[in-house]
Amino acid sequence: MAIRVIQWATGAMGRTALRRIIDHPDLELVGVYVYSPDKAGRDAGDLAKRPATGVICTSDIAEILALDADMVIHTPRITLPYDAMNADVARLLASGKNVISTAGFHYPPAHGADYTAPLLAACAAGSASLAGLGVNPGFVVERLTLAATGLCHDISRISVSETVDASAMASAEFVFGLMGFGADPTVNDITRGPLAALYTALFSEVLHLAAQGLDDAVMSIAAAHEITTAPRDILLPAGTIPAGTVAATRWRWTATLTSGIAFTLSILWTADPTLHPEQGLGHWNVQIEGRPNIHLTLAIDEGDVAAPPARALTDATIAVAIAAIPTVIAAPPGFFAFPAPPPFRKRLEAR
């Protein structure tokens, strides 16, 4: 019997998920939620460049809640404030639908009991599970980096840095809103405003989940964000970044763990990768300092050089989510996270 799936949102990430659901032999698309009134009432196949499916998109959450479905693939754009999506997700869970999100929920306990209580109550009411999955957050640190720590006898520092090339992104709302490009640093210091709070909320979950995987805990998290201004006007599909305004953001946090390990997570989003020759090749660089030292470089790209740079990362993110569907469905109600691979252990006895 096919797994009955709802696709929530149909932006770039959502349309990729929609195609994978429609094309998958073990999945049955039963509903699509859209935010845009222009998409409501259209056949899902039309949005996914597929033949007609008979599934009509809706912007009415009540229609989605009434559907009989095993799973919701939740791919909205991350929003300000970070918890703006929680109420909708709680309604989905309480209606008996498991949820895999690419927009958060990687480790909700990082935000405390007041944050988790409504979500856990919804999981219990619907006997459903909630998982935040993707590439970063969701894979690079929690599964790849933790696995690599298993090669070490001792660790003093772990550093994970990501580079995202935004030069081909077409969404002005994303580039100039959620990425902060084009902001005048003399007027608006985005490293101390709502965007910084949003990304701290999201990526602090990665640090807390990684610490848990190491049988450790986060004592403190310190931020050291940076911006790079445009040396000239930079023309993107999304619009023009004027000279002197923000052309790249480096969001960076260092967590100090109870074991003494320093864990740094750095995310560079840039309108022009040539502004950052120090980054080297690859989307991600992982450095584990200890005995021995470990160095990893991960690149995700397309064989088709004409493809947008972001397409490969979108494909990988949705691949992680789709592959997890049966595991999340089978999990007990509550928050789901993949168990850490055998990582570094400071102590061997259980704590």
| pTM assigned to the model | 0.94
Render pLDDT for 81-95 as a digit per residue (tens, 0 to 9).
999 999 999 999 999
The H helix count followed by the E strand count for the chain is: 9, 15
Q: Which pLDDT score is estimated for 347?
A: 82
- For residue 309, pLDDT beyond 70: no
- Angstrom CA distances, 2 to 95, 204, 270, stand at 20, 36, 41
State the average pLDDT over residues 37-58.
Answer: 97
Judge whether residue 52 has pLDDT over 90: yes
Residue 66 has pLDDT above 70, yes or no: yes
Task: Tell me the residue ranges of DSSP E strands in 198-324.
Answer: 218-223, 226-229, 234-236, 239-241, 246-257, 262-270, 284-291, 294-298
